[in-house]
């Protein structure tokens, strides 16, 4: 007996009991929908985490000062009143062979203005290496150069959004050489940075600043002219670029040791290692996947039991039909195939509805929670295969029972 005919017979059967078939499919529908939606959400979260980690720089180590409280603060003030400083930069450069470049960053709390108008931007004093370490480059003009550093030139480079705010869509020629007032000094605009709008809008454990709102000035200028504007001699952040990715972990430990020494044992800093964050994200992802798999397995198991249940009922209901088919020449195998196929159709249709439901569900969640979702073709194929397997597993026992019926007893069944 050909497969197409079996499928047709199966469809006629299932269509004759639409509501029952649908209710039976619910388990599979939920199972598959849960898998599709959560795989999409998981993949979206993962992509986002990766993006943010990549933005931090995978071979970078960041050192940030910690604000201490109480007794710790007292001892920190005694042992290491400068906090994170250029002393640390020198110590790391001298003692950490893994370090390729080191970028000290100091945030200046002065308000930048243009023609008396306040600009919404973050002032950062950086060295020329900064752009290589964070892989962030100017699109117009140039970045801070060694010359600017040595001469402590009062120049600045604007982030894309800052430039847009201040100059609108003016051409570079009219922007170049304009002046920005910071504190008591005026700074010449020498460049505009590329637009690195973060794709993500979703809140995340790894916070990434909007670097499009940064304004960069030479570090040496901050050191000489802006020192003491707010009494800051300390660094806001220290980024160390490690030559080899495989050395990052070891380098982080070494830098921790060096800083402990320069800070007299006071832990007034924290080390942020994006590579560690990546590993954490991956571990979280694995746990998430496991929970997901468990939920899916339970839903599909329940769905499978539902299908088995209705198939057993169907075998009883259609005992006479089985007898008639046997009298007309159906072999045991024909009967088994027919019922097995019905179970598979049931779960496959459920699976396909589940895929649509999952995509819609994922889209709704993504829309309302503001999460990223990534729908993968692989997950969809996998769902179809799993649904088919559930159908076979659930249908086998009822199908065997149907095939095992004695023709005469089946024909006599009332």
Residues that bind another protein (CB under 8 A): 1-2, 4-5, 12-13, 16, 320-321, 323-334, 407-408, 411
3-state secondary structure of 61: strand
E strand or H helix that includes residue 351? helix 332-369
What values do phi and psi take at 191, rounded to 5?
A: -170, 165
**Min dist. Cβ of residue 408 to another protein (A):** 5
Query: Which residue, 104 or 323, is less far from another protein as judged by CB?
Result: 323
Which lies closer to another protein via its Cβ, residue 131 or residue 326? 326
State the nearest-atom distance from the C-beta of 409 to another protein, in Å: 10
**Is 104:92 a contact under the CB 8 Å cutoff?**
no
Nearer to another protein, 205 or 317 (CB): 317
Q: Least distance in Å: CB of 414 to another protein?
A: 11
* Closest by Cα among 374, 88, 378 to 257: 88
Whole-number Å distance between alpha carbons of 125 and 47: 31
CB of 392 to another protein, least distance (A): 22
For another protein, the closer CB: 116 or 329: 329
Work out how close the CB of 204 gets to another protein at its nearest, in angstroms, rounded to a whole number: 57
Most distant CA atoms of the chain, gap in Å: 106
Structure-block tokens of residue 362: 């994922």
> Toward another protein, which CB reaches closer, 228 or 329?
329
**Least distance to another protein, CB of residue 360, Å:** 33
Q: Which H or E element spans position 6?
A: helix 3-15
Q: Say if residues 48 and 367 touch (Cβ distance below 8 Å).
A: no
Q: Residue 268 has what DSSP assignment?
A: -
Nearer to another protein, 16 or 207 (CB): 16
Considering the complex, state which of residue 4 and residue 18 has its C-beta at the smaller distance from another protein. 4
Distance CA 318, CA 403 (A): 12
Contact 96, 255 (CB under 8 A): yes
CB closer to another protein out of 17 and 176? 17
Token digits of residue 227 = 């020192």
Residues 133/136/137/142 CA torsion (nearest 10 deg):
-60
37: Cβ–Cβ under 8 A, 6 or more apart, which residues?
358, 359, 361, 362, 365, 373
Residue 330: CB minimum distance to another protein, A: 5
Burial class (CB in 10 A: 0-12, 13-18, 19+), 378: exposed
- Minimum Å gap between C-beta 308 and another protein is 23
Compute how many other C-beta atoms are within 10 angstroms of the C-beta atom of residue 287: 10
Shortest distance, CB of residue 18 to another protein, whole angstroms? 13
Query: Which residues have C-beta within 8 Å of that of residue 324, sequence separation ≥ 6?
Result: 411
> What residues are paired with 178 via a beta bridge?
none
Q: How far is the CB of 324 from another protein (least distance, A)?
A: 5
**For another protein, which is the closer residue by CB, 263 or 318?**
318
| Strand 60-65 to 237-242 pairing | antiparallel
CB of 203 to another protein, least distance (A): 56
Q: Considering beta carbons, is residue 324 or 396 the nearer one to another protein? A: 324
The residues that bridge with 261 in the sheet, in sequence order, are: none
Phi and psi at 117, nearest 5°, equal -95, 135
């Amino acid at each position: 007996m050909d497969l197409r005919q079996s499928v047709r017979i199966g469809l006629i059967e299932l269509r004759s009991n639409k509501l029952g078939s649908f209710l039976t499919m619910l388990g599979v529908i939920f199972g598959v929908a849960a898998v599709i939606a959560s795989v999409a959400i998981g993949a979206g979260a993962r992509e986002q985490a990766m993006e943010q980690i990549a933005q931090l720089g995978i071979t970078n180590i960041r050192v940030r000062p910690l604000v201490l409280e109480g007794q710790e603060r007292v001892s920190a003030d005694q042992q290491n009143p400068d906090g994170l400083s250029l002393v640390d930069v020198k110590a790391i450069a001298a003692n950490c062979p893994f370090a390729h470049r080191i970028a000290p960053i100091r945030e200046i709390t002065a308000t930048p203005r243009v023609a008396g108008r306040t600009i919404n931007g973050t002032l950062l004093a950086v060295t020329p290496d900064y752009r290589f370490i964070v892989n962030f480059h100017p699109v117009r003009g140039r970045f801070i150069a060694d010359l600017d550093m040595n001469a402590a030139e009062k120049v600045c480079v604007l982030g894309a959004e800052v430039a847009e705010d201040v100059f609108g869509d003016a051409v570079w020629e009219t922007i170049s050489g304009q002046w920005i007032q910071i504190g008591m000094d005026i700074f010449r605009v020498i460049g505009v940075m590329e637009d690195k709008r973060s794709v993500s809008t979703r809140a995340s454990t790894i916070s990434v600043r909007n670097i499009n709102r940064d304004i960069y000035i030479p570090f040496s200028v901050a050191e000489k002219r802006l020192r003491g504007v707010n009494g800051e001699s300390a660094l806001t952040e220290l980024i160390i670029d490690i030559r080899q990715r495989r050395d990052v972990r070891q380098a982080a430990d070494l830098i921790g040791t060096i800083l402990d020494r320069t800070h007299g044992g006071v832990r007034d800093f924290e080390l942020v290692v994006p590579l560690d964050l990546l590993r954490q994200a991956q571990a979280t992802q694995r746990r998430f996947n496991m929970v997901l798999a468990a939920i899916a397995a339970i839903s599909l198991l329940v769905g499978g039991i539902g299908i088995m249940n209705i198939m057993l009922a169907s075998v009883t209901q259609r005992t006479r039909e089985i007898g008639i088919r046997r009298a007309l020449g159906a072999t045991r195998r024909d009967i088994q195939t027919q019922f097995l196929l019905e179970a598979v159709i049931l779960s496959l249709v459920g699976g396909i509805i589940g895929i649509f439901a999952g995509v819609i569900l994922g889209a709704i969640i993504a829309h309302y929670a503001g999460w990223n979702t990534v729908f993968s073709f692989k997950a969809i194929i996998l769902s179809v295969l799993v649904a088919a397997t559930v159908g076979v597993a659930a249908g086998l026992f009822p199908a065997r029972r149907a095939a095992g019926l004695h023709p005469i007893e089946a024909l006599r069944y009332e």
